[in-house]
Structure 1
Amino acid sequence: MNSKQQPDWWRYSATSWHQLLELMSELQPTTVGQCANQASWQLLKVGDTNTNFKLSLAHQDYFVQFVDQAKLEQLPSGEYASQTRLVSENPVLSKWLPKCLLDTEVIRVSTWLDARPTINQDFNNPDRVVELSRLLSELHHSELSLPELDMKKHLAKYYEIARANKNADPLRLETLYKQGQKLTGYFVASNSCHNDISPGNLLSGYQLFLVDWEYAAISDPLFELAGVVVNFDLSDQQEQELVTEYRKQSGIKVDIDKLEAMKDLYQIISELWYMENE
Structure 2
Amino acid sequence: MKQEITEKIKALSCFEDPQDIEALGGGLTNVNVLLRDGDRKFVVRLGEDIPEHGVMRWNELAISQAASLLGISPKIVHNEPGVLVLEFVEGRTFNETDVREPDALLRIITLIKTTHQELGRHLEQPVLTFWPPHVNRSYLARLQAEGSTHQKALPDLHRQNTMLEQAIGPINLVIAHNDLLAANFIDDGNALWLIDWEYGGFNSPLFDLAGLASNNGLSEQQERAMLEQYFETNSDPIWRSYMAMKCCSLLRETLWSMTSEIHSELDVDYAAYTSENNAKLALALADFKQT
Which TM-score band applies after superposition, normalised by the shorter structure?
0.7 to 0.9
The aligned amino acid for 1:85 is Q
TM-score normalized with structure 1 length: 0.78
Question: In the alignment, does 2:201 pair up with 1:220?
Answer: no
SS in 1 for 2:210: helix
> Which whole-Å CA distance do the structure 2 matches of 1:253 and 1:50 have between them?
39
SS in 2 for 1:197: coil
Question: In the alignment, does 2:129 pair up with 1:148?
Answer: yes
Residue 47 to residue 128, structure 1, CA distance change in 2 (3 Å): same
Task: Determine the structure 2 residue equivalent to 1:3.
Answer: none
The aligned amino acid for 2:229 is E
Report if aligned partners of 1:150, 1:189 keep a CA contact under 8 Å in 2.
no
Task: Determine the structure 1 residue equivalent to 2:259.
Answer: 276
Task: Determine the structure 2 residue equivalent to 1:200.
Answer: 183
Question: In the alignment, does 2:102 pair up with 1:126?
Answer: yes
Percent identity between the aligned chains? 23
Deviations along 1:4-48, one digit per CA (max 9) or x if unpaired, are xxxx9214896x765x2x112xxxx4xx2x35xxxx221112523
Question: In the alignment, does 2:58 pair up with 1:80?
Answer: yes
Question: In the alignment, does 2:60 pair up with 1:60?
Answer: no
Deviations along 1:39-62, one digit per CA (max 9) or x if unpaired, are x22111252321111112331111
> Which whole-Å CA distance do the structure 1 matches of 2:132 and 2:180 have between them?
17
Aligned length: 250
How far residue 66 of structure 1 moved from its aligned partner, in angstroms, is 0.2
How far residue 67 of structure 1 moved from its aligned partner, in angstroms, is 0.9
Residue 149 to residue 245, structure 1, CA distance change in 2 (3 Å): same
> Which whole-Å CA distance do the structure 2 matches of 1:161 and 1:104 have between them?
29
Deviations along 1:166-205, one digit per CA (max 9) or x if unpaired, are 5522121222122112212326361110101102212233
Residue 251 to residue 75, structure 1, CA distance change in 2 (3 Å): farther
Task: Determine the structure 2 residue equivalent to 1:262.
Answer: 245
SS in 1 for 2:110: helix
- The residue correspondences of 1:27-46 to structure 2 (distance < 5 A) are 29=16, 32=17, 34=18, 40-45=20-25
> Which whole-Å CA distance do the structure 1 matches of 2:73 and 2:141 have between them?
33
How far residue 104 of structure 1 moved from its aligned partner, in angstroms, is 3.6
The aligned amino acid for 2:14 is L
> Which whole-Å CA distance do the structure 2 matches of 1:139 and 1:254 have between them?
23
Task: Determine the structure 2 residue equivalent to 1:5.
Answer: none
The aligned amino acid for 2:208 is E
> Pick from 95, 117, 123: which aligns with 2:93?
117
How far residue 276 of structure 1 moved from its aligned partner, in angstroms, is 1.1
CA RMSD of aligned residues (A): 2.9
- Structure 2 unaligned segments of length 5 or more: list them: 262-291
Between Structure 1 and Structure 2, the one with more helix by share is 2
TM-score normalized with structure 2 length: 0.75
Residue 127 to residue 155, structure 1, CA distance change in 2 (3 Å): same
